[in-house]
Amino acid sequence: MNPNQEEALDDRHIFTTLRYDPTLLSSPPNTAASYGHPCAFYMLEHHFARLRAANGTTAPAGHPTALLRELSQAVEAWQAQHPGKHEHPPLRLKHRIHSQTHHTTTEIAPTATLTNDQMFPSSLHIPATHLPHTIPWRIRLDNLPTQPTHSTAYKTSDRSSYDRARTSAGITSLADKTEVLLFNPQGEIMDASISTPYFFREGKWVTPAAVCGGQQGTTRRWALETGLCVEAVVGKGSLCEGEVVWLSNAVRGYFSGRYVGL
């Protein structure tokens, strides 16, 4: 059986989505977030931790050096197949570990350039009222609660909850600068559909507590470790139209938007 046939029979997987960016090789914060070694992959250490934590239903995540080797080989293969592209463009990688055959697959596509401050901010901006009204991202609230499951706590092939929420918010593509907040049956914000959300509450930035059922993303881990935010329960009833919500993910870094309701 060839790899393509195996993948067709083995569609269940865990995955992580990450950024390849040669500028990260000279980024001290990224070195610190990559086992203390210069690395072109954004927060590699946290991606390995994510895969290992999600490992309850799949093969062992292996060793960090094995992950680095697989990702590097995938990037080298992509660059060889795209000689007309810029020499070293930043890339978006979706790396899967399949649950039955234990083999891995990696999808790659170019992504936007970011500054080091966008990837490793020293702080999140305060007061929604002090920010201009031209923040490009719109943040909506899902129209139905989501029941926490293994697939809301970890990135798996079951994206049904997130797909439903994005459809409810009218989001049709990853290029759409609209994000949707998911909440559990208790009315607590769990997560956002493609990012980790951060809210300004009682003089500090907070991110939804793990017990609420959302994913423990890589940029979320870094933000908690470095003190950019703390965990807290955020009730959907506390959201105010027009308030600034910060977002982060492992491809786009940290970016802000405004809450616009349902």
Between 261 and 20, the more confident residue is 20
Q: Which residue type is seen at 224? A: L
How many angstroms separate the CA atoms of 48 and 51, rounded? 5
Question: In whole angstroms, how large is the CA radius of gyration of the chain?
Answer: 18
Domains recognised in the chain with CATH numbers: 3-114 (3.30.470.10), 128-261 (3.20.10.10)
DSSP β-bridge partners for residue 198: 246
Between 12 and 76, the more confident residue is 76
pTM of the full structure: 0.89
**What torsion, rounded to 10 degrees, do the Cα atoms 59, 65, 67, 70 define?**
-120
**Measuring CA to CA, how many Å separate 254 from each of 187, 234, 248?**
25, 20, 4
> Who's near 153: CB < 8 A, 6+ residues apart?
210, 213, 214, 215, 216
Per-residue pLDDT tens for 54-107? 665 444 456 889 899 999 999 999 999 988 766 778 999 999 887 666 788 899
Q: What pLDDT was estimated at residue 17?
A: 93
What does residue 35 show for φ and ψ, rounded to 5 degrees? 65, 25
How many angstroms separate the CA atoms of 16 and 155, rounded? 7
How many angstroms separate the CA atoms of 156 and 70, rounded? 19
51-56's contacts with Cβ under 8 Å and 24+ in sequence apart are 51/14, 51/16, 51/97, 53/154, 53/216, 54/14, 54/154, 54/155, 54/156, 55/14, 56/150
- Mean pLDDT score of the chain, rounded to an integer? 88
Q: What pLDDT was estimated at residue 59?
A: 44
DSSP code per residue over 149-205? -HHHHS-BS--HHHHHHHHHTT--STTS-EEEEEE-TTSBEEEESSSEEEEEETTEE
How many angstroms separate the CA atoms of 217 and 26, rounded? 23
Here the tokens at position 72 are: 């590097």
Per-residue pLDDT tens for 170-217? 999 988 999 999 999 999 999 999 999 999 999 999 999 999 999 989
Q: What is the pLDDT confidence band of residue 135, given thresholds at 50, 70 and 90?
A: low
Residue 251 near residue 239, CB atoms below 8 Å: no
Between 217 and 5, the more confident residue is 217
How many angstroms separate the CA atoms of 213 and 179, rounded? 18
How many angstroms separate the CA atoms of 251 and 29, rounded? 16
Helices (H), the chain: 3-9, 28-32, 44-53, 64-81, 116-119, 150-153, 160-168, 218-225
